[in-house]
Structure 1
Amino acid sequence: MRNKQKSPDLLNAPIPETLKKMTIPMIFGMVTLMLFNLVDTFFVSLLGTEPLAAISFTFPVTFTVISLAIGLSIGTSAIIAKALGAGDIAEARFDGAVALIVSAVFVSVLSLFGYILMDPIFALLGADQSLMVHIRDYIGVWFIGSVFLITPMIGNAVVRASGDTKTPSMIMGFAGVVNAVLDPIFIFGFGPIPAMGIKGAAIASVVAWTCGVFIILYLLIFKRKLVSLKSKKQTFSSATQKMLKIGLPAAGANMLTPIAMAVMTALVARHGAEAVAAFGVGSRIESISSIVVLALSMTLPPFISQNFGAGKFERVASAYKTSLKFILIWQFILYLVLILFSQVIAEIFASSEGVISVITLFIWILPLGYGLQGVIILSNSSFNALHKPMNALSMSVIRLFAFYVPFAYVGSLFWDIQGLFIGALVGNVFTALISYRWFCQTLESVGVNNQAEECEA
């Protein structure tokens, strides 16, 4: 199951070096994908305001499907990595095959409902009839092709579970390149290919996903033989339950973030249009600043799950602590860089003095807590790796709706928009402390008693 040339030995190799080798390719893949998504948006924007607005209306709907896919991929990686750590190759292969089938069914059913209820869904979101023409063109194709999105995501999770993060990153990057190349061809037409407008953007995405499907299935089935439907110990039903036990709560936790952001945007809107514009820019700064954290949140779980399965709890505690120390230092250095260039960054994104002022204020306050936010994200992903998905979901609820949003609201009542930012920062401080303490206690509950003390040391 484990490809020795491509996959590091997660059970014995030095921890910092192993995590570094796993994380760097993921950073590359995520950056590449982000850049090509920007290209996608750029080409659609050339069609005019209405197509661009239509794409914006589809984001909450597509994010719901993608959140389910991400959650199922988290569950897939956790159960396969644990089986590999325990040395049960046959179980890992069976889990991988079941995950591919079940995920495709789940996403297909969800997309079918979305396709059937397309008009009422977007009417509830506030789309008028002039936009619905563009929305139907785009989302109809997107729903039909969504099964080609989930397969590479789950397949990449299977590969990552063995410690190979380079291959999934290359597949992500390749799909992004295909999408970027096909976008202008399908949107505006080229040679015998007619101009298809916004529908062309959706078709380009589906073709790119399909390329990913062929690559990942060839890799899983033929080249590395990572999946099999033969099992003497499990049934299809039991393997499905294992994956969904982690995958569905993980999907729910992902869906909480846009809900919280919508509430935060409403709070910011009370301070005027300039504040909303600045907060939107700040959210983009946060996304870019969190790339390393998000990459590590995808590479740390396979490491933890394999060592969890092998009973090597001291390596679990050490990897967790090492990752947190690194991310706290990295994000603080990044904060200093943002402070140094705060005025330049603000002027790049805005021309209004009011907006520039609020963006600068945002940069001085909220990024100070990005390291703590990293602690929360990595703790949540580690909970899933230990097969404690409800802990991760509960932590997400606590962070967003007990600390982050309420503290921001209280802060705004006393110190205006500056207080809102400070309140959100303080909310991250409290949540980081709770998540760290909770994870260390969880280590004790699943492993050896002294691991909680080692984690907290």
Structure 2
Amino acid sequence: AGRLRGDLRQIGVVAGAALAPQHPTPFGTAVTTHVMARFGVAAVAGQVTIDRISIFAFGFVYALTGAVGPIIGQNLGAGRPERVRGTLRASFAVTITWVLGAWALLAAGCPLVLRAFSASGETAALIALFCHWLAGSFIFTGSLFVANAAFNNLGRPMLATAFNWGRATLGTVPFVLLGAQWGGAPAVLVGQGVGATLFGIAAGAVALNLAGRLHDGRTQGGDPQHAGVRV
């Protein structure tokens, strides 16, 4: 019984660390939708459509963040911190490149997007705002995702939880509320993008700093257990 409790405790620690970062995004989306609902059905329709477009346009970034974690973990275990740092930098570069390309396509194809969703009025205005201007903010959302993958595989899962909840609360609530007060539905989307940008930059900087403090496990006879963060 004692061994079972110990095993369950260890499983709970890992499962809890993996589960905790999954809740902030729905929370932040719910807050934004609640605020957007003040401006009517058309505004909510615009926001929901933008969410669907984002998943399609930036699906590669979601896939990248799922793939980069095992690469970071493998190289950390092999005692190759320079590869961890290289993987992290390359992931940020690929994220930026993909988002810029998708943003350009969305801006150029905005009329087609509006026709595809039969959007008009306020809904069309919000979608056009996203396609022409706000899609670029996903660079920083993607950077947050990459940083979270690094945190989880460098033994700092609580940093991923902290940044995700920070973006969903401090990076969402005040910005969308101020946007709603000052500029209506379009400013709500702008506020959401500003908050994501701030937390994406912060998370990326912390992840790079964390990777920069890794020491080379090969200097300890090649034992992967000696690879880690120099504190």
TM-score normalised to structure 1 length: 0.44
How far residue 430 of structure 1 moved from its aligned partner, in angstroms, is 0.9
Measure how far apart 1:356 and its partner are.
1.9
1:410 aligns with 2:178: yes
Which residue number in structure 1 is paired with residue 166 of structure 2? 398
Equivalent in the alignment of 2:148: 380
SS class of match (1:304): helix
Of 352, 355, 367, the residue aligned with 2:120 is 352
Per the TM alignment, residue 236 of structure 1 is displaced from its structure 2 partner at its CA by 7.0
Task: Answer yes or no: is the 8 Å Cα contact 2:27–2:168 preserved in 1.
Answer: no
Shift of 1:406: 2.0
- Aligned counterpart for 1:323 among listed residues 77, 80, 91: 91
- Structure 2 residue matching 1:279: 3-state secondary structure: helix
Q: Is the 8 A contact 2:96 2:139 kept in 1?
A: yes
8 Å contact from structure 1 (residues 409, 420) kept in 2: yes
Task: Confirm whether residue 293 of structure 1 aligns to residue 61 of structure 2.
Answer: yes
Please list the CA deviations of residues 222-242 of structure 1 after superposition, one character each: whole Å capped at 9, or x if unmatched.
xxxxxxxxxxxxx77666655
The separation in 2 between residues aligned to 1:241 and 1:289, in whole angstroms, is 40
C-alpha offsets along residues 405-448 of structure 1, whole Å, 9 cap, x if unaligned? 32122122212222112111211221111101211232355536
Pair 1:313 & 2:99 matched: no
2:56 aligned with 1:263: no
Match of 1:278 among 31, 42, 46: 46
Match of 2:198 among 412, 430, 436: 430
Distance 1:445 1:238, change over 3 A: farther
Q: Which has the larger radius of gyration?
A: 1
Residues 242 and 447 of structure 1: is their aligned pair in 2 closer, same or farther, counting only changes over 3 Å? farther
- Which of 112, 125, 138 aligns to 1:370? It is 138
- Matched-pair contact (CA < 8 Å) for 2:32–2:172: no
Aligned residues: 214
* Cα pair distance change 1:324/1:240, threshold 3 Å: farther
Where 1:402 maps in the other structure, the secondary structure is coil
Tell me how large the CA RMSD over aligned residues is. 2.0
In the TM superposition, 1:26-425 aligns within 5 A as: 241-425=9-193
| Greater RCO structure (CA 8 Å; 6+ sep) | 2
Range that drifts further, 419-428 or 371-380:
419-428
| Deviation at residue 251 of structure 1 after TM alignment | 1.1
- Mapped to 2, the partners of 1:354 and 1:428 lie a distance apart of 23
| CA gap 1:349/1:240 in 2 versus in 1, 3 angstroms | same
| Cα pair distance change 1:248/1:290, threshold 3 Å | farther
Instruction: Say whether the 8 Å CA contact 1:246–1:389 is kept in structure 2.
Output: no
Aligned equivalents of 2:12, 2:150: Cα separation in 1: 17
Identity rate, percent: 24
What displacement does 1:341 show? 0.9
Structure 2 length as normaliser, TM-score?
A: 0.85
SS at 2:136 equivalent:
helix
Q: Distance in 1 between matches of 2:108 and 2:178?
A: 29
Aligned to 1:4: none
Distance 1:328 1:303 in 2: 19
- The gaps in structure 1 that reach 5 residues or longer are 1-234, 449-457
